[in-house]
Amino acid sequence: MRIRYKKWARGELEASKFYEDEPEKWKGKWCEHFENSKLPFMLELGCGKGTFISKLAVENLDVNYLAIDLVDAMLGLAKRNVEASYLEAGIEPKNVILTRFDIERINLILDKADKVERIYINFCNPWPRGKHRKKRLTHTKQLEKYKEFLVPGGEIYFKTDDDELFESSLHYFDESGFSVISKTYNLHNEPIFEKNIETEHEKMFSEQGIKIKALIAKLK
């Protein structure tokens, strides 16, 4: 998703208590970055404007979350959305951290010691051209990287509007040793999550009549 440059984003991020500008320093010790280091640790990859993580984290204060994106403008908006959600709840955002990093190199900032229990991937770039498909966040190449820091039995929650990406991802998960324990080709009619938090893209695609595909995959 393209977004215009936000000249204010970098300054606001650097001043934020829940933004980390040097994620490499925390590899293997992310739990120490949170006020309560004993909580389960989960990720959102490609958090965009933060519509999802801002709702998820404030509704689950018993979980620590790291949300990753590569674009300052996106993260700036995510920071504002997180602040708004926590302000409405009357609490400080102490269980969520935003960071800027290239997810293709994610093993530079996470490893087994981080004990990631769940990954959320929502409406990632489908990279439809054949030579670009290895860039998909659900591609076998990426899934092998996630296995390096997911706990045994760790899960991936995935949502997309793209039919081809979804079908290919089912193959990627199987190839990488994940079990797809639940899936749907119409999430809004066949819920598979305890609670579905609708993202900005999800709302837009649903209004266009596009069915939302979703799955839960578990590391064997």
Q: Quick one: pLDDT at residue 31?
A: 97
pLDDT for 6: 76
Task: Characterize the bridge pairing of strands 96-100 and 41-45.
Answer: unpaired
Query: Whole-number mean pLDDT of the chain?
Result: 96
pLDDT digits (tens, 9 = 90+) for 150-163: 999 999 999 999 99
Q: Which CATH number is correct for 9-219, 3.20.80.10, 3.30.420.40, 3.40.1190.10, 3.40.50.150? A: 3.40.50.150
Note the pTM of the prediction, 2 decimals: 0.95
Q: Which residues contact 161 (CB under 8 A, 6 or more apart)?
A: 123, 201, 202, 205, 210, 211, 212, 213
Q: What average pLDDT does range 115-121 have in this prediction?
A: 98
What local confidence, expressed as pLDDT, does residue 5 receive? Answer: 72
What are the Cα distances from residue 167, in Å, to 148, 192, 197, 207?
Answer: 24, 17, 22, 22
Rounded Cα gap, residues 132 and 148, in angstroms: 23
Query: Does 204 have pLDDT greater than 70?
Result: yes
pLDDT of 135 over the 70 cut:
yes
Helix count and strand count (H, E) for the chain: 6, 8
pLDDT at 118: 98
Could you report the per-residue pLDDT of 39-94, keeping only the tens digit for each?
Answer: 999 999 999 999 999 999 999 999 999 999 998 999 999 999 999 999 999 999 99
Q: Is the pLDDT of residue 8 over 90?
A: no
Query: Which DSSP state fits 198?
Result: -
Reply yes or no on whether the pLDDT at 136 is more than 90.
yes
Q: Maximum distance among all alpha carbons in the chain?
A: 48
Provide CB contacts within 8 A for 99, sequence distance 6+.
19, 20, 21, 23, 66, 67, 68, 109
Question: What span, in angstroms and rounded, lies between the C-alpha atoms of 208 and 39?
Answer: 39
In sequence order, the β-bridge partners of residue 214 are: 159, 184
Question: Which tokens hold the place of 140?
Answer: 């076998």
Give the whole-number percent of the chain exceeding pLDDT 90: 92
From residue 24, alpha-carbon distances to 20, 89, 157, 211 in Å are 10, 31, 25, 38
The residue among 31, 30, 33, 88 whose CA lies nearest residue 55 is 88
Instruction: Give the tens place of pLDDT for each residue, 152-197.
Output: 999 999 999 999 999 999 999 999 999 999 999 999 999 999 999 9
Predicted confidence band of residue 127 (pLDDT cuts 50, 70, 90): very high
Query: Which two three-digit tokens encode residue 33?
Result: 């970055």
Report how far residue 133's alpha carbon sits from residue 152's, in angstroms, rounded to the nearest whole number: 27
Checking if the pLDDT of 3 tops 80, the result is no
